Amino acid sequence: MVRWQQESVTQELRGQSREENLEEYKKSEEICEEIIGIEGIDDEEPKEQCQKQKHKMKIPKNMKITNIIKHRKNVNSEDDLIPEALLEVDLDTIEGIVESPGDPEVGCQKQKFRIKISEKIKILHFKKWQKNSQSPGTSSVELDFKGNLEQNRLAEAQQQLMKAEELLFGSKEVSRTEDEEDKLHMDYEIFVLHLRLAIHDSFSDDNQETLKSALTSILKEEAQDRRWMEVAMDQRPVWRPISCRQIHDTLLQTTVEERMKNAEDEQENKADILSTSLKREVFRMGKQVQKDLLRVVRNLKECYPPDFDICRTYAQLYHQTFSTRLQELARCKISSEDCLYILSWIVEYYPKDVLKHKELEEHINSSSLGPLLPEEDLKRLEEQYFSYKENNIRNWLSNAFEKEVKKWSDGIEPELMDGYYFSSLAFDVLPLIDGAVKDVNALLSCESKARSLLNQLDSFLLSYKTSLEELVKKKQENIPKTLTANLLNIYQFRDYVQKPEHPFLEDTRTACLSTLADLKKICHTYFLSRIHTELKPLYRKLWTQVWFSGHCEVVEELVKALENKTDSFKELKSVCREELLAELHLEVMVEYVRRMMKRNLKLKDKEQQEAAAEFICHDSNQICSVFAKVGSREEWLCQILPKLSEILRLQDPGSLQLEIVTLARDYPDIREQHILALLNLKTNLSSSDLRRIKGCLIENRGTLDTESSTSFFSKVHIKRKII
């Protein structure tokens, strides 16, 4: 019976048509117009006024016209009428005056006078009620339960239900009929229905006051449930407990699920540019979460009592709904592209852009929400993504390298950029590798996987080295230009590998740097070996009798040849040119000292030794000036020959001992053979002097600081041991 009554009332609330309401309104309006029309004839002739007055007043006596327009919020209606527009008219006096004998004009004047008396005609409440303007605020008329529901005054309606419940069940002495119980039960069902409607429409801007009223009634109903739970079951109403809070929570979950299922992105252009349906769905759901949570914080939070903790509640509901759908998607067979997109939302967009929004962060504890995907699902996506990245890098490196080698084989000349020969190999490869490593680090938070990606660079560089070695064996005209362009590639690769922020394993980093050093050596050797071959005839004249007798001509010829050879280095990028010049500068100085220690020239006396010392200093200045002019910054090489000249100039054995110890301190790689070869140039030194100097060097070797970045004498090779 209660179920039938509930359905009947629901039909009354929802089923009464707009046409019926408007028809009733029109009838009331017509009656009102007739009465007001009497008042509007005072400008006419008296006789005509009396005739119209008699016609208008044929209305039953003591008639009370009541126009009640039932109202409930209807989202499809444009204009609704307010509930209960009551019009009362005292018609006794009106009709009495009309029937009174006498002068018709006087009668009409009296009639006019009485019609205008405001006490006799009362328009209590009659006006248009626009859609969405209703508010469960204070009314000037005390409403019954039905009226409160119609005006969405749920808290007041709930109070009335509680009073009725107390009257029926509050005392054992009060008898109640089954019909009374059924009616109250039905009223409660109607109330719960309105409560559901208010909660379901929580996100409607015009529903805020109704929602507040609903939440107030929920708190009171929860308290009433607790009171009745202390009463025996057979003595409490059958509808207790109503569990309004549980109804509220369940309905919130349903509402959230519906909104997420029907999520539509307001910025459709952003979703439409995404390439797959999965991406568009995930994007729209994620944006719906942010959009709705912002509305909760901005609007709904003020409606809810603090103990509802509504921001946390909604955050958990949206989080769980989003998580459930992502799990369904992740367990399907998805492309690597879609896999990456889901991971991006899990790791980047959702925690950082959605939950960490400046308006949400202080209201939502994101750490309490838990992960969006279970560990098993997340690991499966991560493995799929990492395998995809590994294959990508392998293909990128292979394609880029094959493209470069094909240019070499086809004899294609490198591009000129800003006056320098340029190869795009490093420019193409390094950003791809670096981007992949950063992506893996960010999405997987696993440095070991990122490092394993960098291992591929080691094998790539080894292939690079093999192909470059094969290239220099060929006789192609464009090899110098190709190597010039590749020197810049090598420098860029080395710079990337050396940076500590790139997570190489130390073994991998060392292996890569070693391969890169070999690559640079291949290029440098190609260039420098040809220069030294051409300079060899000039080297042979150094520290010979020809050099000693006319040393200026020999050195000037060498310097001029160096100037011509280093001029071709201008086609190199500055960083590469400096390294090549530094190596050439070092090799020229090494060759000079090696020629000096071959002992092709004997300095018999003090005058010859001092002259040779002067020549050495002059040669050092000339050679270093050439290299400084073209860009060498190896200033330390300019100090070697002057220090060796000092040993030739000194004659006192004690001073020689001190100078040689100082030389050994400055150049820890100098060996006994180098010292003896240098001293053997001074033929006036006795064997005992040589032994004392040698003993002093051995004695002081252990106390010298051998930590030096400079290595020079180790490159000066002496063929035979000097005794």
Please state, in angstroms and rounded to a whole number, the distance separating the CA atoms of residues 492 and 489: 5
Residue 283 sits in the same domain as residue 345: yes
Query: Residue 623 domain-assigned?
Result: yes
CB 492: neighbour CB atoms within 10 A?
18
Residue 429 sits in the same domain as residue 481: yes
Residue 563 sits in the same domain as residue 698: yes
- Spatial contact of 411 and 478, defined as CB atoms under 8 Å apart: yes
- Looking at 496, 524, 552, which one is the last position of a domain? 524
Query: Residue 216 domain-assigned?
Result: yes
CATH number of residue 491's parent domain: 1.10.357.50
Please state, in angstroms and rounded to a whole number, the distance separating the CA atoms of residues 721 and 401: 48
- Spatial contact of 503 and 448, defined as CB atoms under 8 Å apart: no
pLDDT digits (tens, 9 = 90+) for 624-648: 999 999 888 899 999 999 999 999 9
Residue type present at position 660: I
Residue of 435, 540, 543, 527 whose CA lies nearest to 487: 527
Query: Residue 460 domain-assigned?
Result: yes
pLDDT of the residue at 174: 72
Token duo for residue 109: 């004047």
Residue spans of the chain under pLDDT 50: 1-138, 267, 722-723
Query: Residue 311 domain-assigned?
Result: yes
Token duo for residue 270: 């952003």
Residue 361 sits in the same domain as residue 311: yes
Residue 425 sits in the same domain as residue 397: yes
- Spatial contact of 660 and 646, defined as CB atoms under 8 Å apart: no
pLDDT of the residue at 474: 87
pLDDT of the residue at 337: 93
pLDDT of the residue at 654: 87
The phi, psi pair for 673, rounded to 5°, reads -60, -40
Query: Residue 54 domain-assigned?
Result: yes
Residue 333 sits in the same domain as residue 387: no
Long-range CB contacts (within 8 A, 24+) of 264-272: 264/288, 266/291
pLDDT of the residue at 520: 96
Residue 635 sits in the same domain as residue 604: yes
- Looking at 327, 347, 373, which one is the last position of a domain? 373
Residue 368 sits in the same domain as residue 388: no
Residue 395 sits in the same domain as residue 505: yes
Query: Residue 138 domain-assigned?
Result: no
Query: Residue 137 domain-assigned?
Result: no
Please state, in angstroms and rounded to a whole number, the distance separating the CA atoms of residues 427 and 627: 31
Helix (H, G, I), strand (E, B) or coil at 139: coil
User: What's the structural domain count of the chain?
Assistant: 5
Please state, in angstroms and rounded to a whole number, the distance separating the CA atoms of residues 328 and 317: 17
Please state, in angstroms and rounded to a whole number, the distance separating the CA atoms of residues 188 and 185: 5
Residue 206 sits in the same domain as residue 312: no
Residue 507 sits in the same domain as residue 550: no
Token duo for residue 521: 């050596």
Query: Residue 723 domain-assigned?
Result: no
CATH number of residue 659's parent domain: 1.10.357.70
Residue 387 sits in the same domain as residue 312: no
Question: Residue 636 carries which DSSP code?
Answer: G
- Looking at 524, 552, 572, which one is the last position of a domain? 524
pLDDT of the residue at 401: 94
Domain assignment of residue 551, given as a range: 540-715
Token duo for residue 532: 């030294």
